[in-house]
Structure 1
């Protein structure tokens, strides 16, 4: 999924196509880019399928359309990532290993996630481990093999099974940006099983110090607030998780206001985010 970052996309695609176990098919969802992204893909990567959207529908809308199209094509597993994800050469090979090793239980595995690193090679905490995962035969065997149970994951290199998409549906495209991946994967993993595969490694090309609560614009922070409220209202989380995410939202708002308290639009965007989150629906 990409928007106006053709150089990053080029690097991402080169990494994907250079995998020791290449994907069977590659689909790029172009979110109405204006920087020549579509032309670059057609010229430099003719083997890649391009889905050009008529308007920018945000990351949530892009993944909605991409998963919808890939699911319709009948692929067993969908490898999802943003354009700022650079996969190491064995990322997909390693990510697929649980599927073959645990083939006797594959119908119960819904999501497999890569280990994500920042640019400085330090771990990027994008995937939430699940220490309370039930000790079933599958999870015990998976842990023995080094695969770690997860409760949610980011759209930065995850495999989602076709069965999971068929059962739990698509991401909610009205989220636009932020928290759509948390909602979607939490929705799936509330019942399904997901594992982090530590030997599958990708680089997320963002600075370690970047934080949308302090670095983002007020009009973008609106989505953080609204979507967190939507997440809290959803059935994707357990009550204890909702309490944790409520505290995270309060912390985000507090940190954002510390940096923007004298900007009137910051208060307006936060208020609007809360109101829209309460009175509007993401469906």
Structure 2
């Protein structure tokens, strides 16, 4: 029997993947531990995403934005909407190409309930690709700063202590979200989940558990050091923003993760078939990061169709 927090709200950010969104919603409808509420943020899709949501037969809070705010904006809006509309204990986030196994939420909640240490702030799922193998893009890394007690407590529930989590499928304690705020919308995409989850987990514990499985239905089984082309701009800009401005990492952690980023950028360059594009992305990202820090969420989201109560919650958290 599973006890613990009584309300879990699932938040999905959707953009022009109506068929995959249909799968995600169907999977949420058939969880063995039911979700208590669902929020879908339509990030200005040009397909019939909103119609799919309305015809799903599920009780869903649908928020339709008038501009694409990226994953960062979608999750910030969706999590704030969950907070003001549903008053959850936990917020479970996922992309619209992330299909949870029917026991995914049960696995997350069992891990929360069984964990022997102090209360968890966040817990993430095991992410596989369509072939059932680990998805290298979302493979979690053990927290290099975890104490022996943290490791022992994680081992007791068959999980791994982590310092960050992916938005592909992770669940956050609502009281921690209230304390630290929401994802930074100006990140648009890349590293928004890293920045947010490190903020949530600073001074608190997080786990990745194989008891919860989701399928990340990307077009191919890519990894974090694959050549992203022009999107490398976001990787560079957002990492610089993170190391300069985020409260998520301590100074020593910034050194460790900064060195790791440089090594990964090097691997990306070695694998690239067009290094000119990477150089241009690096130059642009570095320039943009130096021009200003990320803007307040309410400034970025003021005119994109965010409901008034949700915008007020985002403002409260700034």
Q: Shared fold (TM-score greater than 0.5)?
A: yes
Instruction: Find the counterpart in structure 2 of residue 82 from structure 1.
Output: 95
Structure 2 counterpart of 1:229: 240
Query: 1:99 is matched with which residue?
Result: 112
In the other structure, the counterpart of 1:261 is 275
Structure 2 counterpart of 1:119, from 126, 130, 135: 130
Deviations 1:199-249 (A, max 9, x none): 11111112554257644331x221111011112223322344323433444
Alpha-carbon separation, structure 2, partners of 1:8 and 1:206: 10
- Matches of 1:63 and 1:206 in 2, distance apart? 19
Alpha-carbon offset, residue 75 of structure 1: 0.5
CA shift in 2, pair 1:210/1:139, >3 Å: closer
- Alpha-carbon distance in 2 for matches of 1:237, 1:152: 10
- Structure 1 residue 26: Cα displacement: 0.9
Whole-angstrom distance in 1 between the partners of 2:200 and 2:123: 12
**1:108-187 superposed matches below 5 A:** 108-125=119-136, 126=138, 127-136=140-149, 140-187=152-199
Task: Quote the Cα distance in structure 1 between the aligned partners of 2:156 and 2:117.
Answer: 16
**Which of residues 199, 222, 226 is equivalent to 1:210?**
222
Select between 202-211 and 53-62 the one with higher mean Cα deviation.
Answer: 202-211
Query: SS where residue 68 of structure 2 aligns?
Result: coil
Q: Which residue of 1 aligns with 2:48?
A: 36
Aligned to 1:24: 36
Shift of 1:275: 1.5
Matched residues, number: 277
| Greater mean deviation of Cα atoms: 221-230 or 209-218 | 209-218
- Counterpart-to-counterpart distance in 2, 1:3 and 1:256: 29
TM-score (norm 1): 0.89
Deviates more, 1:171-180 or 1:230-239: 230-239
Cα RMSD (Å): 2.3
**Conserved 8 A contact 1:118-1:207:** no
Distance change >3 Å, CA 262–CA 163, structure 1 → 2: closer
Q: Structure 1 pair 271/94, CA: closer, same or farther in 2 (3 Å)?
A: same
Q: Distance in 2 between matches of 1:142 and 1:99?
A: 11
**Deviation string for 1:163-210 (max 9, x for gaps)?**
110111111111000100001111111211111121111111125542
Q: CA deviation at 1:261?
A: 2.9
Structure 1 spans left out of the alignment, 5+ residues:
none
Distance change >3 Å, CA 118–CA 238, structure 1 → 2: farther
Instruction: Give the superposition deviation at 1:8.
Output: 0.9
1:15 is aligned, of 27, 31, 35, to 27
Tell me how far apart the structure 2 counterparts of residues 79 and 44 of structure 1 sit (CA, whole Å). Answer: 19
Worse-matched range after superposition: 151-160 or 227-236: 227-236
Unmatched runs of 5 consecutive residues or more in structure 2? 1-12, 296-318
